[in-house]
Amino acid sequence: MSRIGKEPITVPAGVKVAVAEGVVTVEGPKGKLEQKLVPEVNAVLEDSTITIERTGETRDHRARHGLMRALVANAVAGVTSGWSKELEINGVGYRAEAKGREIHLALGFSHPVVYTLPDGVEAEVDAKANRIRVTGVDRQQVGQVAAEIRSLRKPEPYKGKGIKYSDEVVRRKVGKAGATA
């Protein structure tokens, strides 16, 4: 049995969960999320716990058991406390500015780069520290938006210029060595 899949998910107070026709709907103080279940698993709601059960013992059933449990647990955590990713901007003249649902970035190109945020995701820009904090309810969507912003100018290995995750370590390379005569 999947070690992750067999753990029950505790539903905190103030969160409503509904299971119907292969869809788990979670509604909490931060928002509402729906997680569609694959046919290999079922969700059972008892009191304030959700258990994910397999319908069979094939390899596919076992493989998706833990995945579905993790996705439902992420939905419960998202509507309760939300998810966030923090990005750092490094480089001379590199900066970000939030204007409504858009982030205007100066990344060393001849033009400013404008990134429009999708619905359900918010971003805060700390101009002094050159940081962007992406927050939202859906973990996958927050990670996707952070990855798209990072891809606008990935960190380079020589000077470390670019956009990186705050916990990311950029491996630095040694530059050109001086010519010896």
**DSSP 8-state class, residue 83:** E
Q: What is the DSSP string of 9-30?
A: EEPPTT-EEEEETTEEEEE-SS
CA distance 136 to 118: 10
Return the pLDDT at 1.
53
CA distance 35 to 14: 19
CATH class held by domain 9-80 = alpha beta
Return the pLDDT at 114.
97
Summarised one tens digit per residue, pLDDT across range 65-93 is 999 999 999 999 999 999 999 999 999 99
Contact assessment for residue 86 and residue 132, using Cβ atoms and an 8 Å cutoff: yes
Alpha carbon separation from 101 to 83, 112, 122, 180 (Å, rounded): 18, 16, 8, 54
Put simply, whether the predicted model's pTM sits higher than 0.85 gets the answer yes
- Best CATH choice for the domain 83-165 from the list 3.30.43.10, 3.90.930.12, 3.30.750.24, 3.40.50.970: 3.90.930.12
User: Fold identical between 9-80 and 83-165?
Assistant: yes
CA distance 30 to 21: 24
Return the pLDDT at 5.
86
Where are the chain's structural domains? Answer: 9-80, 83-165
Return the pLDDT at 62.
86
Low-confidence ranges of the chain (pLDDT < 50): none
Where residue 37 falls (left for φ over 0; alpha for ψ -120 to 50; beta otherwise) is: beta
Provide φ and ψ at 127, rounded to 5°.
-65, -35
Edge to edge, the sheet with strand 102-106 lists 95-99, 102-106, 113-116
Contact assessment for residue 158 and residue 173, using Cβ atoms and an 8 Å cutoff: yes
What sections of the chain are H helices per DSSP?
59-80, 139-151
